[in-house]
Amino acid sequence: MTDSPKSKYQFFFDRDLLKKYKLVIVAYSHVERQWFPNEQSYLAEKEVEDRAQEVVERIKELGVPVKGIPSDKYFLTNLLVDQPDLVLNLVDTLKGKDLLQTSVPAALELTNVCYTGSGMDAMVIGNNRNLTKRLLGSYDIPTPHFQFIRRAGTKVEETLKLPLIVKLNESGGSVGIDNHAVKESFVKAEKKVDDMISTYKIPVIVEEFIAGPEITVCVFDDGQKKHVFMGEKVFKNKPDGKYFFTSLESYDDLHAYKYKPVDPDLYSKIERLAVRAFNGLLYKDYAKFDVRVDEATRTPYFTDSNPNTAFGPDKGLPFTEVAALNGISFDQILGSMLCKHAKNISA
């Protein structure tokens, strides 16, 4: 990736506020192989331990006392013993289930501990594609037409326009989206639906595939303004030989895509929609949206959202890489977020 340009973004930061912290905890997912249906989905979550440690080290560099703890059976006990001023919540799965991550903000609310990221309500929404897309539609935010399917053997509605892409309703990180995820017939889409429900034991959505550019949109709220920054993906190749998209297999290729700046007119249109989506979905601190642009109409369709997107200094993480494209360092975001929450600590 090329050097980051000078940033136009100015985030709230007051170093004196960092002195108020006696302890910050970085909470991360505890994962075990038996909780996942296959090796791919397990490995997609396993790397969170290393990412959490990287965040711990960056907080230490700011002079803030910090430790990391996993979201295992001792999680609540550790919180009660340590009594941290703030928990950086990086937990995105419990017992292999994305939906259970809402238990973490629940535990933090129960123990009256301040934490970063979205609360229980936003986590429930953000980890359910069916619910997310319905709410986006209610706020007049374009999202592709789709069908929610709970059971194998269900017919795909032929009112949907081909091609179609099949996604798990409750999972992120492209889990379940392989190199052949885009289907050009209803028969093939139905076969994919049956295979995914049988493998993962959770519902799916069948969505009209928007074949145009894909844009990663990030929102960061520093307590004074919701900052939006984004980048357009430039793919190295088409996973299925016909369409550009991000498959789980492409995660093994560090050069599967790179980012380039977004056209200014399109940027302005998406920026307004992203802030509306962030507010409407009740997100807090930071979030990431995936947007596909219809080449004919230039309509930006919000296809996915993540209120608890992968957070860390690794340039391989979309949030961090898009920030760097816009001249924003991870340390700027981290420091600003810590300062924002430090204002709530009693003197």
Amino acid 42: pLDDT? 62
Same domain flag for 107 and 201: no
State pLDDT tens for residues 117-161.
999 999 999 989 999 999 999 999 999 999 999 999 999 999 999
Tell which of 158, 176, 208 closes a domain. 208
pLDDT higher at 38 or 312: 312
Q: For residue 245, name the pLDDT band (cuts at 50, 70, 90).
A: confident
How many Å separate Cα 89 from the centre of its chain?
A: 13
Amino acid 236: pLDDT? 86
Same domain flag for 56 and 165: no
CATH of the domain at 14: 3.40.50.20
Amino acid 346: pLDDT? 80
Q: Is residue 188 part of a domain?
A: yes
Tell which of 64, 99, 117 closes a domain. 117
Q: Residue 235 half-sphere exposure, CB side, CA atoms within 13 Å?
A: 19
**% of residues, the chain, pLDDT over 70:** 87
Same domain flag for 104 and 164: no
Specify the number of domains making up the chain.
2
- Give CA–CA dist 40/319, Å, rounded: 22
State pLDDT tens for residues 171-213.
765 677 888 889 999 999 999 999 999 988 999 999 999 999 9
Same domain flag for 174 and 106: no
Amino acid 3: pLDDT? 42
Domain membership of residue 190 as a residue range? 146-208
Q: For residue 97, name the pLDDT band (cuts at 50, 70, 90).
A: low
Same domain flag for 2 and 109: yes
Q: Is residue 136 part of a domain?
A: no
Same domain flag for 80 and 161: no
Q: For residue 23, name the pLDDT band (cuts at 50, 70, 90).
A: very high
Q: Is residue 101 part of a domain?
A: yes
CATH of the domain at 190: 3.30.1490
Q: For residue 101, name the pLDDT band (cuts at 50, 70, 90).
A: confident
Q: Is residue 248 part of a domain?
A: no
Q: For residue 4, name the pLDDT band (cuts at 50, 70, 90).
A: very low
Q: Is residue 19 part of a domain?
A: yes
Q: Is residue 104 part of a domain?
A: yes
Same domain flag for 155 and 203: yes
Tell which of 208, 233, 253 closes a domain. 208
Q: For residue 95, name the pLDDT band (cuts at 50, 70, 90).
A: low
Average pLDDT over residues 256-263: 92
Same domain flag for 7 and 81: yes
Q: For residue 2, name the pLDDT band (cuts at 50, 70, 90).
A: very low
Same domain flag for 41 and 91: yes
Q: What is the mean pLDDT of the chain?
A: 89
Residue 38 has pLDDT above 70, yes or no: no
Residue 1 has pLDDT above 50, yes or no: no
Same domain flag for 158 and 67: no
Q: Is residue 214 part of a domain?
A: no
Q: Is residue 130 part of a domain?
A: no
Amino acid 96: pLDDT? 59
Same domain flag for 112 and 5: yes
Same domain flag for 88 and 150: no
